Every structure is written in structure tokens, then in C-alpha cells.
Amino acid sequence: MDFWDDAYRTTPPWDIGRAQPAFIDLVRNRELNPGRVLDVGCGTGENAIFLAQNGYSVTGVDVVQDAIRTAKAKAASRKVKVEFRDGNALGLEFEEGEFDNVTDSGLFHTFQDPDRSVFAREIARVLREGGKYFMLCFSEKEPTDWGGPRRVTRREIEETFSPRFKINYIRDSSFATRIHDKGGMAYLTSATRLAKLST
């Protein structure tokens, strides 16, 4: 995970010091289930802190210990209760069905193909039946001239998260970064954890 550790030696382009506007809208529209939220790849915690400020019981997980330290310090100085811990989204240390929601701002689009299915299985495992997954990723409409993470297609999202999830929508959205004036072209996905198959 050297790449991610290195990324946090300076302020990375995604670390905008506030919650993603797309997540602010989700809260405003009351799209999350009440209760617990797991924010995977939480970085320095802005989205997790924002969710906690809005009444959710939030746990944030990231592979970079420095990012987790920063997130904890921010939550403490803003007097917000969030549980931040280091951990790998591809092998989550949580029980089955613990969470009512999983949020993902910019993690899924960093995975290589083989990890995508591992990740989908993991978040399905920690979500209860009816639990919701919200994911913001760069879409194929975002130009590739500046590099950055993978661009993701609707079809790839559908293929990865079915059949464990019902896809509620995959919507054009925007990713706020430190290098885009008006945000990057993104997809916001909402998906609901289906009942486990009895077989």
C-alpha cells in the first residue's frame, strides 16, 4: 500500500477539506438508512464526520494510518464522535450484517478487476439485508488526459454489484477535487443489499 502512504505525504487531490457535495445531497434527501454507516477508504474523514454530524453512527476505515490519525484529530477538534480505524476494505474486520449503510467516496474506482468482486462480496457481507451502498466514482465521461484513477462504466458497476445488490440508480454526478474547477465527471450509485440466497 506504498502508493497510498505516499499520497498522504502531501495533501492529495481528493482531500478537499469538506464533504463531497454528492454525499451532502444524499443526507439532505434522507437516502441513507438510519443507524450505522461504514465509510470505506475514508481518507482524512470529511465524509464520515459530516455523516456523524447528521445523526448517523459512523465507522471510517482506511489502509493509511497517517490518514486515520488525521481523521481522528479532526473529529476530536470538531467534537464529533466517529470511530476511525485502519483496515483493508478487501478484508473487513466486521461481523456479518453489522451496518445499515456503506459509503464509498473514491475507493471503488481505484481497484483492479480481480479486487472488484472481492470488494463487492465484503461490503455485501457487512451490510444487513436492505442495507444500502452509496458509491461515488469517476465515470467514463471524465477525460483521461490528467491521469487519475480508473474511469468506470455503468455496465461495470452493474456487473460488479449484481446479483448481491439491487441497483437503485447510477446517476451522473460530480467529484469535487483540488484539481477540477467544477468537479470531475462522476457516477453516483445507490444499491440495496438483497436477501442472502438460502443455498
Within 8-153, residue ranges assigned H as helices are 21-28, 46-53, 65-77, 113-126
Question: Under the criterion CB under 6 A, does residue 89 sit at the interface with ligand SAH?
Answer: yes
**Measured between alpha carbons, how far is 99 from 158 in angstroms, rounded to an integer?**
22
Sequence-ordered list of residues with C-beta below 8 angstroms from that of 143, at least 6 positions apart, any chain:
none
3-state helix, strand, coil in the chain (%, to 5): 30, 30, 40
Rounded least distance, CB 199 to ligand SAH, Å? 29
Which listed residue (26, 32, 37, 41) binds ligand SAH by CB under 6 A?
A: 41
Question: Under the criterion CB under 6 A, does residue 148 sit at the interface with ligand SAH?
Answer: no
Beta bridge partners of 26: none
Q: What type of residue is 105?
A: S
Scanning 37-45, 69-77, 93-101, 126-134 for contacts with ligand SAH by CB under 6 A, the matching segment is 37-45
Using the minimum distance from each CB to ligand SAH, give the nearer residue, 122 or 156. 122
Comparing every residue's Cβ against ligand SAH, the nearest one is 41
> Is the backbone of residue 45 left (phi > 0), alpha (psi -120 to 50) or beta?
left
Scanning 59-67, 138-146, 151-159, 179-187 for contacts with ligand SAH by CB under 6 A, the matching segment is 59-67
Scanning 58-66, 123-131, 153-161, 183-191 for contacts with ligand SAH by CB under 6 A, the matching segment is 58-66
β pairing state of 57-62 and 36-40: parallel
Question: Under the criterion CB under 6 A, does residue 100 sit at the interface with ligand SAH?
Answer: no
> What's the number of CA atoms in the CB half-sphere (13 Å) around residue 197?
5
C-alpha cell at 86: 485502519
Which listed residue (22, 26, 36, 43) binds ligand SAH by CB under 6 A?
A: 43
Scanning 49-57, 100-108, 179-187, 190-198 for contacts with ligand SAH by CB under 6 A, the matching segment is 100-108
> Would you tell me which residues interact with ligand SAH (CB under 6 A)?
4, 14-15, 40-43, 47, 61-64, 67, 88-90, 105-107, 110
